[in-house]
């Protein structure tokens, strides 16, 4: 059995389950009966770290977790997020202390639980000092409503400012062979401060699969067709040759390309936990199996070289998407924006 990894004072299986796309982002929501069955199956397989957010499905992802798993609450580590919320069917960004506290109460109700193990600021709010927001989160810790504080899509400077107010247990950042921005600064800052690095989209939003996703088949509601420029037809075609070496490496290891991508992410640091999302029971099991794969140092170095950051074509976010994060960018991303 693969060793568990630490988030704060808890240990979890190194591959978690991201619960965004059961309700949100990559097309129509799952059938809710099937979504609940997938959540139950995840715990049955051995997943013990579930990651959701207020925003996902405008609260419906949290509700599905509560409805499906309320009787098994002690068997998994639960993370959710605030700051990105919703009002009247529209997305909001608000990190004021009173908003964070109200959002937590609403999430607890939807999740049908008394405590959230890890509660993240989903995004920085440029209108609210991060110290004020983390102060509110620390009060939620004192009140027993959350156990740990996390941040998402923020840079090293924000992490240090937040950590000075209250220990930060986890930073959630997009990290994969295809998106290596954490290597600019946040990965080292997490290692220095003892913070877990939770890697979202570790399979490149479906790019690091075999076969990879086909943008021509995206549903009109799929965000990959609008705010992620690497999925633009011209950029995507230019990125596809990157998969040739990934397929060769996966064949040598004896795993799928997606499992290789997850194993690589975990090999980049003992504090890194990928949280792939899926709507497929087959992929759910494949992703969990990646936690059993250990790559050699030579294989990691080979993949590092094959997926040098500057080989990716296109910035990871559109200007709108980039405007609400403080994660560090590579110079080439600014040039391509």
Asked if residue 104 lies in contact with residue 116, where contact means CB atoms within 8 angstroms, the answer is yes
In whole angstroms, give the CA distance from residue 151 to residue 317. 19
> What's the number of CA atoms in the CB half-sphere (13 Å) around residue 337?
16
For 14, 74, 231, the CA distances from 119, given in Å and listed in that order, are 18, 17, 30
Asked if residue 168 lies in contact with residue 162, where contact means CB atoms within 8 angstroms, the answer is yes
In whole angstroms, give the CA distance from residue 43 to residue 319. 38
- List of long-range contacts for 208-211, beta carbons under 8 Å, 24+ apart: 208/176, 208/177, 208/178, 208/243, 208/246, 208/257, 208/258, 208/260, 208/261, 209/256, 209/257, 209/258, 210/243, 210/246, 210/247, 210/250, 210/256, 210/257, 210/258
The yes-or-no answer on residue 236 being catalytic is: no
In whole angstroms, give the CA distance from residue 94 to residue 44. 36
The residue annotated as part of the active site, out of 26, 56, 120, 175, is 56
- Residue 51 bridge partners (DSSP): 18, 79
Count the Cβ atoms, other than its own, within 10 Å of residue 211: 8
In whole angstroms, give the CA distance from residue 124 to residue 128. 8
DSSP, collapsed to helix, strand or coil, labels residue 266 as helix
Residue with tokens 């098994």: 72
Positive or negative torsion for Cα 126, 128, 132, 134: negative
Residue with tokens 């633009």: 232
Active site residues: 56
């Amino acid at each position: 059995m693969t060793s568990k990894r630490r988030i704060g004072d808890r240990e979890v299986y190194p591959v978690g389950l991201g619960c965004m796309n059961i309700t949100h982002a990559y097309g129509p929501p799952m059938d809710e009966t099937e979504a609940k069955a997938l959540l139950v199956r995840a715990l049955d397989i051995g997943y013990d770290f579930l990651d959701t957010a207020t925003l996902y499905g405008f609260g419906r992802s949290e509700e599905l977790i509560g409805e499906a798993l309320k009787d098994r609450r002690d068997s998994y580590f639960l993370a959710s997020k605030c700051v990105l919320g919703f009002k009247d069917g529209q997305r909001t960004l608000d990190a004021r202390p009173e908003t964070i506290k109200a959002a937590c109460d609403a999430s607890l109700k939807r999740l049908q639980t008394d405590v959230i193990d890890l509660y993240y600021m989903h995004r920085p709010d440029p209108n609210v000092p991060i110290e004020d927001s983390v102060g509110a989160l620390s009060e939620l810790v004192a009140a027993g409503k959350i156990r740990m504080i996390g941040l998402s899509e923020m840079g090293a400077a924000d992490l240090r400012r937040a950590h000075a107010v209250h220990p930060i247990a986890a930073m959630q950042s997009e990290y994969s062979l295809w998106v290596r921005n954490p290597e600019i600064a946040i990965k080292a800052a997490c290692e220095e401060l003892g913070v877990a690095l939770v890697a979202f989209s570790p399979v490149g939003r479906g790019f690091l699969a075999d076969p990879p996703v086909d943008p021509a088949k995206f549903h009109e509601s799929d965000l990959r067709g609008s705010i992620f420029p690497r999925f633009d037809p011209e950029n995507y075609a230019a990125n596809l040759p990157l998969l040739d070496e990934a397929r060769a490496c996966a064949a040598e290891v004896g795993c799928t390309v997606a499992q290789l991508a997850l194993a690589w992410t975990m090999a980049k640091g003992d504090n890194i936990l990928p949280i792939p999302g899926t709507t497929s029971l087959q992929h759910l099991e494949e992703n969990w199996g990646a936690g059993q794969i250990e790559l050699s140092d030579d294989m990691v170095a080979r993949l590092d070289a094959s997926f040098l950051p500057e080989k990716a074509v296109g910035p990871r976010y559109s200007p709108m998407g980039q405007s609400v994060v403080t994660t560090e960018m590579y110079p080439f991303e600014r040039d391509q924006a």
